[in-house]
Structure 1
Amino acid sequence: MPVPRSTERRMIAEIPPRSGTAFRLAAGQHLRVIDPEGGQVSDMLAFAADDPREALSNGRTFDYEETIRLGEGNRLWSNRSRPLLEIVEDRAGLHDFLLTPCSEATFRHFYPGKPVHRGCFGNLAEALAPFGIEPDAIPVAFNIFMNVPVGRDGRIKVDPPTTKPGDFIRFRALADLIIGLTACSAYDSCGGTFKPIHYAIEAG
């Protein structure tokens, strides 16, 4: 569970390494996701609070934003063609919206011989269950701080994040939302180390 940390201006919550959480975000509120130590990925999901069958969609987002490199000024769209979040500030500048949350199957496929972890998928499934969101409803996540270069031949790879301590991205909610958020558990995504993620909900 997230651990509140007080600051002069806001409350910051911590997601411990290899775990996740879920919470409500009201329309107009801002969500700041922070990499406190550098080099850590955070998987984010968003669902409409009034009907969680409406969820973040990478396909709709790529289509309407006309790019796969999303950053400041871009919006993240739902499967019903409605913008759910706007990126209003981005100190990191590199994120991924291609790859699905890591899972037990991911670990068995890519990391034979290493301990299997339930991954971001398992962490998100547990965190979202109280909101009535089942595992099969989990879409591709917006992978904050994740470094996924795409080669000219179309092949992809996963490199360590380029974030420095304190780098962050800030979103504005365009609807009442349920947010799922993790500190990613995959070896490659985080350069082989696992660190916490901080987040803060702020007034718009």
Structure 2
Amino acid sequence: MIEPSRIPPRSGIAFRLRSGEILEVIDPHGCQVADLLAYSADDVGEVISNGRTFDYEETICLTTGNVLWSNRSRKMLTILGDTVGRHDFLLTPCSVDTFRHFYPDKPIHHGCFGNLAQALAPYGISEDAIPVAFNCFMNVPLQNSGRLSVEPPVSRPGDFIQLRAECDLIIGLTACSAYSSNGGSFKPIDYRVILPPTAPNEPAEADQS
């Protein structure tokens, strides 16, 4: 098994994920959120969409077997494994404005939005192209009244979610920066890319990158 890479607390990265590869997002210490974005590598105007996903999956509680769809109604990521079962696809990445609104007595931080914008800029993705992220491990209960709350994640050390790319993607991924989302503390997020298995007697495709 490939050793996971680490995203330091309150930071983010971007990388390519090829069709068929599996992204495993791991919470190494527990109670930490990771914001996840996915764009088509062929056209970054195509991006994951919470509205399309909720529509086609007919649920807001996304877990093993569910698909994350694009704004152009194409499958982007399929959830293959999930040891937590509670994630959020309603709330936007935290930002400078988030901190001003919810944490006026705390130091201002650029948040996941700023981290994603910086990491995705080399791929030609602007701030205005950042949508609602799929917030791995984020715990956002929905009351019968419709009111939302942000509670500490229920993820424990070593919990993970695995997502298979259904097309070539550009991934943005963070270790979330907001106090409420992570139970008041900030920890790293680990991740690894698992290559698809090759067929018997079929040589592995050489990496041309």
Could you say which TM-score interval applies, normalised by the shorter chain? over 0.9
Measured against aligned partners, the alpha-carbon deviations of 1:98-133 in whole angstroms (never above 9, x if no partner) come to: 000000000000001110100000000000000000
Identify unmatched segments of 5+ residues in structure 2: 197-209
**Given residue 55 of structure 2, which amino acid in structure 1 is its aligned partner?**
D
Q: Does 1:72 align with 2:64?
A: yes
**Given residue 26 of structure 1, which amino acid in structure 2 is its aligned partner?**
R
Distance, in Å, in 2 between the alignment partners of 1:150 and 1:184 is 21
**Given residue 109 of structure 1, which amino acid in structure 2 is its aligned partner?**
H
Partner in structure 2 of residue 31 of structure 1: 23
Partner in structure 2 of residue 120 of structure 1: 112
Question: Could you tell me how far 1:12 is from its partner in structure 2?
Answer: 1.1
Give identity over the alignment, percent: 66
SS at match of 2:118: helix
Question: Could you tell me how far 1:11 is from its partner in structure 2?
Answer: 3.0
Distance, in Å, in 1 between the alignment partners of 2:103 and 2:195 is 41
Identify unmatched segments of 5+ residues in structure 1: 1-8
Q: Does 1:12 align with 2:8?
A: no
Q: Considering only CA atoms, is the larger Rg found in Structure 1 or Structure 2?
A: 2
SS at match of 1:189: helix
Please point out which of 42, 58, 61 is paired with 2:50.
58
**How much is the aligned-residue C-alpha RMSD, in angstroms?**
0.4
Distance, in Å, in 1 between the alignment partners of 2:140 and 2:3 is 31
Please point out which of 86, 104, 114 is paired with 1:94.
86
SS at match of 2:98: helix
Question: Could you tell me how far 1:203 is from its partner in structure 2?
Answer: 1.1
Please point out which of 184, 192, 195 is paired with 2:187.
195
TM-score, structure 1 normalization:
0.96
Partner in structure 2 of residue 5 of structure 1: none
